[in-house]
Structure 1
Amino acid sequence: MQLDELRGRTAVVTGAGSGIGESAARHAASLGMNVVLADVATERLDAVAADLRSRGSAVLAVPTDVRDVAAVDALADAAYAEFGEVAVLLNNAGLESLGVTWEVPADEWRRVIDVNLLGVFHGVRSFVPRMGADPRRSHLVNTCSVGGIAITPRMTAYAASKHGVQALTESLYLECAEVFPQITVSVFSPGQVATRIFEDAPTHEVTAADTVFWREQIREGMTPDVAATLLFDGIARDEFWILTHPESFERLAAKRARVLGEQLRPDALFDGRN
């Protein structure tokens, strides 16, 4: 789908109050798209919406907890009532979690899975039938992570959710190709991007070393604006795999392939950079 085809059409972005979601929404608006913003953080959501409206963009802000299937249905209802169609759906809302697996509180684990994995499913469930009823081309992107193919100790709730998103998206690609071929499906797998994902992470006591290490890794990442540009470049090329750090992705994918193909133990190739 060429980017000039998107002018005047509509993008829906979850997790649009900050980070990659905010930058993706701003990029969509810069392309002349109508933008539907969804986030659980209403103050940040309203601030982004107000700024985009001040720049002349057509914006609808819908406070949404993607864990709630009824809330995502209401988001889809609002988007179609306001703009009549959706050309780009970005299921992007996500949370991080740190800590040794058995030390992560059950409610924190559940929240991460519910936002990262069930939130994507809820977006698919609410929007795909409506997008599929429109003969025009459209594009659905699920934000995964390089964590969706990596072995990631001390981030197991996040990794488990992202491995799930990866599997969901590959299956969805095949289903849409069969039932709704006008919908292109992509998985967006960013590496290190400087977002506030750790600031928004559920809080429980973790080691200072874990916290400092991962937050520094994030701070040193590319900007969300660059990541959003790469995202829309991938949409324009109809890519399934949309990557921000292809070299890191290829390194991790090669290691994962060896572990699976040779039935290696998880520590056989683990070097702490996964």
Structure 2
Amino acid sequence: MSQDMAVFKGGVAVITGAGSGIGEGLARLAAKQGMRVVLADVAMERTERVAQEIRAGGTDVLVVHTDVAEPEALDRLAAITHETFGDVTLLVNNAGIETLGYVWELPAALWEKTLNININGVIHGVRAFAPGMLASGKRAWIANTSSIGGLGIMPIQTSYVLSKHAVLSFSECLYLEMQMKRAPIHVSAILPGPVATRIFEDSKTAEDPMNANHGQIMHNMLASEGISGDEAAERILPQIAAGKFWVSTHPEVTREFANNRASHLSNLADPALPAELLAGMGLG
């Protein structure tokens, strides 16, 4: 255990979207740091498998079926967690879905589902847990999973990208609010780069063939270039422990995205895609 990570020993970690990908990796790593872990997800079969593997290492694990799109489900998660394990040390609002399609083709119900999970799931996760974390007076950490997509723009993935922009700005404001309260709660925004998760495998896609093609391009890119969820967690958790706001799996990529976004805004440039991406989408 690194010196930074030692701050988590004996604490309680709550992770949404813990049944696969980055959430699964963070749950495993938190357990290795001596934390009791709460795994929240809707995919119970996958999540129970993760829990069994973690329990085999001697860690106390609680699995709670949680649809983060429902605020009352997050209230229930907070209540069960406190009743079972007490004060929360680390909250990672990680659950999210990918939705592909032109903005006018996605059904209203799919828009609502995507935004409720990706944005409101983070907001209500904080709303449900922060009061107890503040009341404890103990040092604690809140980390919200945005994306390097929160520093860029991308057609077809509009619902996902705008949700990650929202999570980033929410996290920045939350950071300032904790400063105003002089609270011992560190806030981090996680901006993963290429990580080989199930996000495109599980994505909801509108009928236009362009959507499926774009999804396949992105899936193949993650499969060939993406790091594993476990490796992502190994990069993410030490940065959270150190109190960093900007948490990246690929720092150079994140900085490139940030610089590009800053240049785009400072020049009031028209939206545009790189030529190589256009070619990959058959538009070059």
1:230 matched residue in structure 2: 235
Identity %: 44
User: Given the alignment of the two structures, is residue 18 of structure 1 paired with residue 23 of structure 2, yes or no?
Assistant: no
Whole-Å separation in 1 of the counterparts to 2:118 and 2:276: 24
Q: Scaled by the length of structure 2, what TM-score is found?
A: 0.92
How many residue pairs are counted as aligned between the two chains? 273
Whole-Å separation in 2 of the counterparts to 1:169 and 1:206: 34
Match of 1:38, SS?
A: strand
**Contact 2:22/2:229, CA 8 A, preserved across alignment:** yes
Q: Once the 2 structures are TM-superposed, how far is the Cα of residue 113 of structure 1 from its aligned partner?
A: 0.7
Partner amino acid, structure 1, of 2:261: R
**Contact 1:95/1:115, CA 8 A, preserved across alignment:** yes
List per-residue Cα deviations over 1:62-119 (Å, max 9, x = no partner): 0000011111000000111111111100000000011222222222222111100000
1:188 matched residue in structure 2: 190
Match of 2:179, SS?
A: helix
Q: For 1:168-187, list aligned pairs within 5 A.
A: 168-187=170-189
1:213 matched residue in structure 2: 217
List per-residue Cα deviations over 1:148-205 (Å, max 9, x = no partner): 0101111000011001001100000000111152000000000110000112212432
List per-residue Cα deviations over 1:206-245 (Å, max 9, x = no partner): 4242122011012120111111011111012211000011
**Contact 1:98/1:206, CA 8 A, preserved across alignment:** no
Q: Which runs of 5+ in 2 are unaligned?
A: 279-284
2:282 matched residue in structure 1: none
User: Given the alignment of the two structures, is residue 127 of structure 1 paired with residue 129 of structure 2, yes or no?
Assistant: yes
Q: Once the 2 structures are TM-superposed, how far is the Cα of residue 57 of structure 1 from its aligned partner?
A: 0.7
Whole-Å separation in 1 of the counterparts to 2:35 and 2:109: 38
Q: Once the 2 structures are TM-superposed, how far is the Cα of residue 272 of structure 1 from its aligned partner?
A: 5.3
Whole-Å separation in 1 of the counterparts to 2:277 and 2:150: 14
List per-residue Cα deviations over 1:43-78 (Å, max 9, x = no partner): 111111122112211000000000111110000001
Whole-Å separation in 2 of the counterparts to 1:144 and 1:272: 25
2:72 matched residue in structure 1: 70
Cα 1:73–1:180, aligned 2, differ >3 Å: closer, same or farther?
farther
Partner amino acid, structure 1, of 2:13: A
Q: CA RMSD in A?
A: 1.5
2:151 corresponds, among 149, 152, 156, to: 149
Whole-Å separation in 1 of the counterparts to 2:147 and 2:242: 20
